[in-house]
Amino acid sequence: MPEKLLEIGSFQYSFAQKYFSDITFRKPFILDVLKSVKTPTLVIDLSRIKERYNELQNTLKEAKIYYAVKANDHQEILATLNSLGSGYEVASSWELEKVLRFGVDGSRIISSNPVKPLDFIDYAYKSGIKAFSIDSFKEIEKIKSVAPRARVYVRLIVPNEGSDWPLTNKFGVDVDTALELLEYAKYQGLIPYGITFHVGSQCNNLKNWFIGIKTSWELWEKAIYRGIKLTMLNLGGGIPINYQYESLSIDDIGSYIEALLKKYFLIKPVEIQIEPGRGVVGDAGVLVSSVIGKTIKDSHWIYLDTGVFNGLAEVLGGINYPMYSDTINKDIIQYTIAGVSCDSMDIISKNTYLPELDVGDRVYIMAAGAYTTVYAANFNGFGVPEVVFV
C-alpha cells in the first residue's frame, strides 16, 4: 500500500509540476511575480483569459458568449472581456452596476438566475435588459409586474452527473412543466423567447450536454404545436478546466455540441448563447500562499496563510486544486493541508502530495481564477487575498 500511495503521489505531483511549468512557459516573467508577491496573493494572467475566450468563440462560432460575472467580478477581468466584445450574465444589482460602468448596452446582458429579487428585475429592465430566465409561475408574475414586455426563457432540469459542482437541486423543471410556463408567460403578455439548461459547473460528462440539447429540442417541438415559436437556445455554463486531472477540452465540448445541434435542430435557433465563467477565468489564476505551520498527527500536516474562508471555499464542494512548491527537497509527502483560521472546517486538502516543506516555503495553488476572491471573507480577522494582474 505505501508503494501504491507513493506512485499516486508521484503522478499527482508530476501533473502539478507540469501545470506550473505551462503557466511560466506561457508568460516567463510571471515566475518573478509569483516568487516576489507577499502572501496570500491571487496572481491572474489576463492574456490567458483572452486565450480561453477566443478559443471558445472560435470553437462555437455561432454562439454568443455571456460571461458569468459571479465567477470573478473584478473590474480588470470585466474590462478585458469587454474589449473582446463579450456579453455578461448577471444575477444581482451589484453585478449589473459593475458591468454598466463600462457603458455596456443592455442587449449584451442577460440574467439566467430563475429566482430574482423584484428590485433587481426592475433595475435590469430599466437598464435595457429584456431577457430573463424562469422556472416558476410566481417568477412570471414578478417579471410581468415590472417588466411587462420582457422576453423569458425557461430553465430545464438536466442531469449533472460527472460535474464537480452539481446544480440540479435548486433550479429547473421538466418538459411538460416548462411548456405550461411558456404558455402562462404568453398569456401574461410576456414574450416566450427560448430555453436554457445547466449541465453543472466543471462538467466532464458529455452526456449531460446530449441530454440537455435533446430535451431542449423536445420542448422546442412541443412549443411549436402550442403556437409558441421560440428563437433562442441557451447552453448555460459548465466548461471545465484542469484541476488535479485532465479535463475535457473546449474543442471536445464544442465539437460535440455542434454535432448535437445539427442532429436535433434541422433549423438552428436564431440565437445560441453560452455562459462560461470558470471555463474562461479559472486556470488564469494562481493563489500564492506560504506555510505558517507544520506538525505530524495522524498524518503530515501543513498550515497555510490562506484557507477555506479566505478564497478556497470550493473545496467544501469537492474541488481539488493542483498545488506546487519549488522547494529543493525531493521527497514527496502526502499532506493534510489546513487553512489559516481556527475553524476545524478549514481543511483545504487531505491528500495532496508535495515535497517536504517547512515554515516560510511557498505553495502555489493553481486553477484559482474562479470562485476564489468572490467567495472570500475576512473571517477570523484574516483578509481576502490581494489580487495582482500580469
Q: Distances in Å between the alpha carbon of 157 and those of 64, 65, 167, 198, 272?
A: 22, 21, 9, 7, 18
What pLDDT is stored for residue 33 in this prediction? 97
What pLDDT is stored for residue 2 in this prediction? 56
**pLDDT tens-digit readout, 20-40:** 999 999 999 999 999 999 999
For the chain, the residue count is: 390
Tens digit of pLDDT at every position of the chain (390 positions)? 455 555 778 889 999 999 999 999 999 999 999 999 999 999 999 999 999 999 999 999 999 999 999 999 999 999 999 999 999 999 999 999 999 999 999 999 999 999 999 999 999 999 999 999 999 999 999 999 999 999 999 999 987 775 665 566 678 999 999 999 999 999 999 999 999 999 988 899 999 999 999 999 999 999 999 999 999 999 999 999 999 989 999 999 999 999 999 999 988 899 999 999 999 999 999 999 999 999 999 899 999 999 999 999 999 988 999 999 998 877 899 999 999 999 999 999 999 999 999 999 999 999 999 999 999 999 999 999 999 999
Contact, 236 vs 176, CB < 8 A? no
Residue 342 known to be catalytic: yes
First CA to last CA distance, the chain:
43
Alpha-carbon distance of 98 to 14, in angstroms, equals 40
Q: Which residue from 322, 366, 282, 376 is spatially nearest to 30, judged by alpha carbons?
A: 366
Q: Is this structure's pTM higher than 0.85?
A: yes
**pLDDT tens-digit readout, 306-334:** 999 999 999 998 899 999 999 887 789 99
* Residue of 1, 266, 267, 342 marked catalytic: 342
Q: Who's near 207: CB < 8 A, 6+ residues apart?
A: 159, 161, 162
What pLDDT is stored for residue 161 in this prediction? 74
Q: Which residue from 19, 101, 5 is spatially nearest to 284, judged by alpha carbons?
A: 19
